[in-house]
Copies of this chain bind each other. A is one copy, B any other.
Amino acid sequence: MSDIEIAQANEAHNMLPITKVAESVGLTAADLELYGNYKAKLSIPTLRRLRHASQGKLVLVTSINPTPAGEGKSTVTIGLGDALRLRGQKAVIALREPSLGPVMGMKGGATGGGYSQVVPMEDINLHFTGDMHALTTAVDTLAALIDNHLQQGNALNLDPRRLLWRRALDINDRALRHVVIGLGGHANGVPRETEFDITVASELMAVLCLAEDLADLKARISRIVIGYTYDRAPVTVADLGVTGAIAMLLKDASKPNLVQTLAHTPTLIHGGPFANIAHGCNSVLATRTALALGDIALTEAGFGADLGAEKFMDIKAPVLGKTPDAVVIVATVRALKYNGGVKLADLTTENRTALAEGFANLRRHITNMQRYGVPVLVAINHFVSDTPAEIADLIALCEAVGVTAVDAPVWADGGQGGLALADAVLAALQQPAHFTPLYAQATTATEKIETIVTEIYGGRNVTYTKEAQTALRTIRRNGWDQLPVCMAKTQYSFSDDAKALGAPDDFTITVRDVIPKLGAGFLVVMTGTVLTMPGLPKVPAAERMDVDENGKISGLF
């Protein structure tokens, strides 16, 4: 059965009312704002109350560098959560919201897979509770207000050539990557070049995910730098006078959403910033809520550990006020063989040599996570083509570097398939965690960048284009030089060359721009050619999708 078929079979007969799921972690109907019977948002008073509740243990799930072979971070996180509950633990999961663009493009759904899924999967993958749409609306309303300001006399003296704010859609639309707007004469705006991002790449998504409450959301929105004046002075949303309107559009989107896994484990799904252009973690509010509601909170970080987990540690954790008590790195035999040079078509054939070769990728991620001072273990997301010899090899390779690896057939077996992993996690949580940040906040942007490149990526050094040097001067001039840095790098490699798989050495990272995101509170460091608006493939997933006259959806997986 496909993922959607498994989900639908379950949804019809087995989903609990979300009020029941909420009860299992001590919430009442009064804490919830229902969106149908199976989805709810947590109310503002409830979020405020839970902020002061005692916190459980935090498990961060991350992975090796993504490959076309698939890793399955969400699937493992969900299966692990269900397994921990089978072991009698009060586990709560906190995930990111799917983006419709990739759903319609290549990826299909993003709600786990097999018997480790969150439901109702169709709703979560499509419009859910409207958070992405509210964000898109807020992003584009702000853009319209900026262009209207240019049109109506430009009292702020904004330089149309130096605007930073871009429009966004939650759609993979490469034709909007580079556009000219404002054509058609004086009544139709000021002509200028601009770009559209996918919504999850917008600063407002990062703002939503880092905001601690509505007051903080407003403060962050007010600080967003929308561009510069002709005199190169930064101009913020506060200067434009529309902080309140933009925050108002995000009022409901700022509240975490509660759903359930197929096994009824409470799951908060909230926020989904890209892990390259942004920090790639779900919202601080959702993770904090999971920590307050559960004895163990499981959360994930986007892409590989070089991007998502590094940003979790260095950007999200300081805001969250909590660092992980254990880190689980998800790997697959397939993906490691791919890293070892095997072609996509040949991954179902046993190849222990390639596995050993590709292990270099996992090994570096293990070392990186260990340097943060927290217990690390490896979850093997089991595919049907994995051979016993390959699994045994991978476990041995991990043991050789002092790390427990556990075979976790959660796709096929749900929580039952994750029991061994759950036991390993529970053992890891008994170990002491002595979190050590990668860098001190009171260092410069270039110092932070160089630390990440040499210590995490394993690169040799960093070069800066002329544009990046100019950007860094602007950043220093404005006093932003000590903000955390958010690296925008290809997810496929430790380097900025997407084709350099495994564990490349001795490479140089080229920084081509540094963009201040004062609302998010970090500097985005652009390396290589990071796309902030994906494209659709030759045969988009959309072509398979359908809905029948009763509203039943098919082809979404």
Contact = CB atoms under 8 A, between A and B. Distances in A.
Interface stretch (A247-255, A483-491, A497-505): A247-255
A402 interface: no
A11 interface: no
A549 interface: yes
A296 B174 CA distance: 50
Interface stretch (A89-97, A109-117, A165-173, A359-367): A165-173
Interface string A233-256: 000000001101101110110000
A548 interface: yes
A50 to B, nearest CB: 16
Interface string A529-557: 00000011010101101111111011110
Given A127-B130, A137-B100, A174 B145 contact: no
B177 A189 contact: yes
A384 interface: no
Interface residues of A, number: 76
A252 B148 contact: no
B171 A181 contact: no
Given A133-B137, A180-B180, A551-B44, A173 B147 contact: yes
Interface in A186-225: 187-190, 193, 213-215, 218
Copies per assembly: 2
Nearest to A555: B244
Contact of A543 (B241, B247, B252): B241
Contacts of A44: 550-551
B251 A551 contact: yes
Contact of A249 (B35, B126, B177, B540): B126
Interface string A133-175: 1101100110111011001110000000000000001111111
Closest 7 CB pairs of A and B: A244-B546, A175-B189, A133-B133, A178-B184, A245-B542, A144-B173, A147-B175
Given A130-B130, A137-B171, A174-B187, 9 more contacts: A127-B133, A144-B172, A144-B173, A151-B174, A151-B175, A177-B184, A179-B179, A214-B551, A251-B553
24 contacts: A44-B550, A100-B137, A127-B134, A127-B137, A130-B130, A133-B136, A136-B136, A140-B171, A144-B172, A144-B536, A147-B174, A147-B175, A148-B535, A151-B175, A152-B538, A153-B538, A174-B189, A177-B188, A178-B184, A187-B535, A214-B551, A215-B549, A245-B555, A248-B556
